[in-house]
Structure 1
Amino acid sequence: MPLVLVRTVTGLEGLAAEEVAAAGHRVVGVSKRQLVVDATAELIDTPPRLADDLFVVRAAVSDPGHLKSGLVSAGDALRRVLSVARQDSYAVTASFDGSRNFNRYDVEDLIGTVLGGPYHSRRDGSTPPADRSEWRVVLDGKTMWVAVRPYDVPLHRRAWRQRTVVGSLHPPVAAAMARLAGLAAGQRVLDPFCGAGTVLLEARAVQPGATYLGSDLSSAAIAAARANSAAVRWQVGDAARLTGSVDRILTNPPWGVRIGIDDLTPYQRQWRRVLQPDGLVVAILNHEQAAQLAADPGWRVRGVYDVAVAGRHPRIVVATRHPLSVGPGGRPRPGAG
């Protein structure tokens, strides 16, 4: 099988490579937002959940450099190695690293010329027809990759996602949180800011044997979550008044951008109170919230992952309860926050 390009969210390249390798495929290259994978057909049938998208490589030549003359030479090289059957309709999306004396539309139009046939340029802002095939060109500084998507839609568009709410998380990022949580069958998993359910539904796809509870103060959010899946228990509830006991907390609290919350400390206290002593919190936070959690003596931060999503740069924080932060009966010890 040809090589495959796995496109990722910035910051998730390493975790995505781990997921791909764990599935038995060989990662032969890692660069910003991309893995190059020597894969079997199984990767196409069962793609990685952390992938933003996936493309099958049809040709690869040397990166043309920063000059337009190099781009022209790359086009000549591609004509010698790239052979495709005539297509009904197709579009091309290009990206590259570094400063160039050409833009992405120059690259896309070049590939459109090389491929021939009914190519739909994006240069004038027009939208290609929905039934097109989608080609991807990536210039990573070493190689010019030309690849085609083997699916009708990008991988990040989940079939379960019928409804969203303000602040809904990008599904591959939620899948990364689920992977970091080390989920196991029989565990109780809570999201106290569940919104439309993205985090828990991605977690359930990773580990269907756990029990999931999503809670949100917004009845509209809970309605959206129920529309997305009836396989998880959803309820209207206050994240500042949690009950019960859980093994994992996976959550995406508001970052204070489109939805605001006050100080995160009261919520951290609630997380610590309901979390089992060997439990784990995986939360995606803004930088201030992440620093606040790290400074809280009731928690031990086990990992921090900076990502880029929705034009923002939040942090996925993995934390455990400090072993001395909770006294008998779940009462916080003095000084535990």
Structure 2
Amino acid sequence: MGHARRKREESAAELPALYALTHDGLERVAADEITQDLHGEVKKTARGLVVFRLSQIDESVLSLRTTEDVFLLAWGSDTLTYRAADLDLFRQWTARKPDWPALFRWHHQIRPLRRGKPTFHLVCQMQGEHGYRRVDAEEAFRAGLRHVLPAGWYEVDENAWLEIWLTIHGKTAVCGVRLSDRTMRHRTYKQEHIAASLRPTVAAAMVRLAGIAPGMTVLDPMCGAGTILAEALTLARQRKGGAPVRLLGGDIDPHAVFVSTQNLGRMGPVGLARWDARSLPLADASVDRLLCNPPFGKQLASVEEILPLYTALAREWNRVLKPGGRAVLLVMEHQALSMALSPFRWTTVRRLALRVLGQPCTLSVWHKPLEESTLPPPAIA
């Protein structure tokens, strides 16, 4: 038995490392998903990045919901100098560090070529101030790959079979072979869209933080395009067993309700209605989990309108949420939200700083107290 275990450990050690690109601020949530759902070992997190290892690499890695993309790791560094000398390092590391044939074999197992000629695409992304341009970094990256790609592969601008990325963020750079495609971040269920629709990976993070269990009633009172409800429905389907989760959603905008109906109708049963979230047609204490992305101040006529809106929403949220229930809320004006919820003694159990639609905002998890109870809030799953 000991020999067999050692062989498994040695085999796992030979597998390439992987990394996930995440929405800024969701790194720990993505790391938790990798650990809990894939039983992976997280090796490092940085801004927008999670490096990890798995005991086996297969299509399950494409099931991650809180990551934008997932890659086989070719090389990585968090010691960039910000100077032009980095360009020589990009060229050398790309040419010499990776075992490219092995990485390509793993890619082909996960994403086999179905038909046609092998095509590839090179992507270079750069954020932050550096002593060189993105085009300079891409030129060095390409030079490092000059003798790596097999003859007969054709470079294309889109829909390539294989993509190799160089991502530079401040002093960190990672290079890898992309295993995911655009559906990991954009999702296939989003057939209809509305302006300022929530990013699916952010919605998936909200759903995970909500700790939804079988038999619960889950509410999104301002559902927009239905992204949060779609992610909740996906998670409920993945976690089979127990009573079904009841999903409810609505919006004051009839077009939003129509879009949600179109997006969710193909996925499963969700109760949708047009309503004013300040006066919900729901019974008191009828909801176990409440998830909401209410309008940001910049979406209204003035920021001053936010506090009255949040105050009215908070009163209704407190009415429909069960004692001991949990709410996951994404807002720009966290102070106004805290003021609105303070009369109800809700407590914050987790806060994450994000940027959504270019604006800094806060993703927060709240616990409604049990009536006349001093029990501490439950831990986040």
Residues 237-246 or 40-49, more deviating: 40-49
**2:359 counterpart SS class:** coil
Q: 1:70 to 1:177 in 2, by over 3 A?
A: closer
Distance of 2:53 and 2:198 partners within structure 1? 30
Q: Does 1:2 align with 2:48?
A: no
Are 2:255 and 1:220 aligned?
Answer: yes
AA aligned to 2:91 is G
SS at match of 1:174: helix
2:41 partner amino acid: R
Question: 1:50, CA displacement in angstroms?
Answer: 0.8
- Determine if contact 2:204/2:228 at 8 Å carries over to the other structure: yes
Residues 296 and 9 (structure 1), Cα distance of their counterparts in 2 relative to 1, 3 Å cut: farther
When residues 177 and 143 of structure 1 are mapped into structure 2, their CA distance, relative to the original with a 3 A threshold, is closer
Q: Identity, % of aligned pairs?
A: 27
- Secondary structure of the 1:279 match is strand
Query: Residue 265 in 1 paired to residue 311 in 2?
Result: yes
Residue in 2 that maps onto 1:332? none
For residues 58 and 346 of structure 2, what CA distance do their matches in structure 1 show? 40
- 49, 66, 74: which one aligns with 2:82: 66
Deviation at 1:144, TM superposition (A): 4.0
Distance of 1:71 and 1:297 partners within structure 2:
56
> Which runs of 5 or more structure 1 residues have no equivalent in the other structure?
121-127, 326-337
Count of aligned pairs: 317
Distance 1:253 1:239, change over 3 A: same
Aligned to 1:256: 297
Contact 1:166 1:258 in 2 (8 A): no
SS in 1 for 2:119: coil
Q: 1:156 aligns with which of 176, 180, 185?
A: 185
2:125 aligns with one of 72, 94, 107: 94
Code of the residue aligned with 1:317 in structure 2: it is S
1:12 aligns with 2:26: yes
Extract unaligned runs of 5+ from structure 2.
1-14, 105-116, 238-243, 373-381
Indicate which of 228, 232, 237 corresponds to 1:203: 232
SS in 2 for 1:131: coil
Contact 2:216–2:288 (CA under 8 A) maintained in structure 1: yes
Q: Is the 8 A contact 2:19 2:71 kept in 1?
A: yes
Counterpart in the other structure of 1:292: 339
TM-score by length of 2: 0.75
Provide the C-alpha distance between the structure 1 equivalents of 2:161 and 2:136, rounded to a whole number of angstroms.
Answer: 20
Secondary structure of the residue aligned to 1:105 is helix
> Counterpart amino acid of 2:260?
A
What is the alpha-carbon distance in structure 2 between the residues aligned to residue 79 and residue 197 of structure 1? 45
- Alpha-carbon shift at residue 299 of structure 1 (Å): 2.2
In structure 1, what is the Cα distance between the partners aligned to 2:47 and 2:367? Answer: 30
Asked if residue 277 in structure 1 is aligned to residue 297 in structure 2, the reply is no
TM-score, structure 1 normalization? 0.84
Query: Which of 257, 271, 280 is equivalent to 1:233?
Result: 271
Q: CA RMSD in A?
A: 2.6
1:125 alignment partner in structure 2: none
Q: CA deviation at 1:58?
A: 2.7
Counterpart residue identity of residue 349, structure 2: R
Give the aligned partner of residue 330 of structure 1: none
Which string of whole-angstrom CA distances, capped at 9 and with x for unpartnered residues, describes residues 146-198 of structure 1?
11212332521111111121231111111111111110011011111011101
Distance across 2 between alignment mates of 1:19 and 1:129: 30
